[in-house]
Structure 1
Amino acid sequence: MQRSLSAYIVLFLVTSIVTVIARMPLSVVLYVAGAPVLADSVSGTVWNGRIENGYVLGYPLGNVDVSGKFLPLLRGRAAADVEVDGPLVSGTADVSVGRKRLVLHDTALDINLAGIAIMDAFGAPMSGTVRAKTDRLVVDTGQGQCLEGTVDVWTNTLERSAPRYGGRGFPMTGIGQCEAGAFVLPLAGEGIDGKAMANVRFGNRDYQTELIVEPRQRNLGQLLVGFGFQQRGNQYSLIQRGKVVP
């Protein structure tokens, strides 16, 4: 009888905890977990919430629908399946936030480069899309460091910028990974204009990009020199550094 009573008490306590958490406002959960989120409004509960005009680490996400998970909350972390639809990012992700760490699982996002304020190799604001997929990526939100994981990347930024200067451009692909706190991404592509490789490094809102182009037409090479590229045989290279500004 005593064991049965103890079992009922445990069951009652667990049920009560689940009920309380299920009714917790999403805004409270984000605050307790220390999530780096600002928004015009946060509505709903942890199970079915919505963030209106949200920002993460200063970057605009737009509207975010959140479907929370129970067990991580018991460990002081906020975890949820997230669907983002905003001016900078759109897509889906399994997100976990806590102890100044952001963890992405099973994530597929489209990123609008025009919203990141990076200049392209020709001195114009970068445009186009980055499609990023990752099974797992861990970021230190306090230090702005990439800690663990790989990301499959596709981008059409060269395809978008080249026509302004008489070329056609082509998509570029690569797999990025964390190295010494930075996110390092090698990209490569080839098209009717020639070949291109890029080595991109992001670290704590700083970036460095080395772009190497091997054009098939001589006049394109002369054009690249006019934009500051250094010629080495058949290849033309340019290194850019700057800040990623939201």
Structure 2
Amino acid sequence: MPRALTYVLILLAVIAVALFFLPLRLAVGMAGLEDSRFSAKAITGSVWNGRIEGAQLGPFPLGDLDAGVRILPLFTGELLMDLERAPVAGDAGLTATVGKSGNRLLVEDVTTVLSLGSQLAPLPASAIELQAASISFAGGRCQSASGQVRVSLDANIPGLNLKQGLLGNAECQDGVLVLPLQSGSGMERLTLKLQGNGFYTARLFLSGSDRAWTLLLPTLGFRPVPDGYAIKVAGQLAR
């Protein structure tokens, strides 16, 4: 074997070994996660088979995740990382692919349920469920969005049955991520808007004029509007 070819093979072997043991923490930074309100208590293992403990996206806890970088997209200049938390009793688990393609931050095929806690208070929303949701941002602007979203409401309002929550599909409007959701009857509508800097607005509209609402809804933060009542909140997702 020619000496030059031997050197090339040795070099390739060294590169392969280095890549195999490349730490996952480095890939997390390269994927742009640390610039997108993502944090974790610990990141261990290699880029191909790693572990992220105590993962958090802004105010949303993601738990302990298995993580691994996809090999083939690297050849096209994309860094894509698969994340998974196995489902257990009382926990729907999580599957998602996150990463970077050029200047675009990608979140693809997310399926999970996130607890909203008091994030949207006093709007009575308790959880948000994502089904195969995909979103991309570039320069702080929403570039593309798809997938089904359901928001669960924690409110006991006479005349309303909101147990199934409000359902819709993610979309981009003028660089803003928009979730236009509604109930099965279409009489209740929730519009969530999220900008790249984490600033959000949420407006819940209830159509109707139930007598009990006159006294109850203002105490919950709603105000009368044409054809019903509405409540609107605004804020910024915490880091």
Q: Is the 8 A contact 2:133 2:148 kept in 1?
A: no
CA distance in 2, matches of 1:199, 1:127: 12
- 2:145 maps to 1:153: no
| Counterpart for residue 179 of structure 1 | 173
- Mark the runs of 5 or more structure 2 residues left unpaired by the alignment: none
- 2:233 maps to 1:232: no
- 2:126 maps to 1:128: yes
**Paired residue for 1:101, among 92, 104, 107?**
104
Closer, same or farther: CA 70–14 of 1 in aligned 2, 3 Å: farther
CA distance in 2, matches of 1:176, 1:84: 23
Q: Is the 8 A contact 2:32 2:105 kept in 1?
A: no
| Counterpart for residue 156 of structure 2 | 162
Shift of 1:21: 1.2
| Counterpart for residue 39 of structure 2 | 38
User: TM-score of the superposition, structure 1-length normalised?
Assistant: 0.74
Deviation digits for residues 14-53 of structure 1, max 9, x if unmatched? 5553332122111232234443143222111111100111
Query: Match of 2:28, SS?
Result: helix
Q: Is the 8 A contact 1:89 1:112 kept in 2?
A: no
Q: Is the 8 A contact 1:230 1:238 kept in 2?
A: no
Shift of 1:68: 1.8
Closer, same or farther: CA 89–100 of 1 in aligned 2, 3 Å: farther
CA distance in 2, matches of 1:209, 1:34: 27
Shift of 1:11: 6.4
Q: Which structure 2 residues correspond to residues 22-33 of structure 1 after superposition, within 5 A?
A: 22-33=20-31
- 2:213 maps to 1:220: yes
Query: Match of 2:22, SS?
Result: coil
Shift of 1:77: 4.8
Aligned-pair identity in percent equals 24
Q: Is the 8 A contact 1:34 1:99 kept in 2?
A: no
Amino acid at match of 1:129: A
Q: CA RMSD in A?
A: 3.5
- Mark the runs of 5 or more structure 1 residues left unpaired by the alignment: none
CA distance in 2, matches of 1:94, 1:228: 38
Query: Match of 2:18, SS?
Result: helix
CA distance in 1, matches of 2:156, 2:19: 52
CA distance in 2, matches of 1:135, 1:54: 19
CA distance in 1, matches of 2:39, 2:188: 38
Q: How many residues align?
A: 229
Q: Which structure 2 residues correspond to residues 182-197 of structure 1 after superposition, within 5 A?
A: 182-190=176-184, 195-197=187-189
| Counterpart for residue 201 of structure 2 | 208
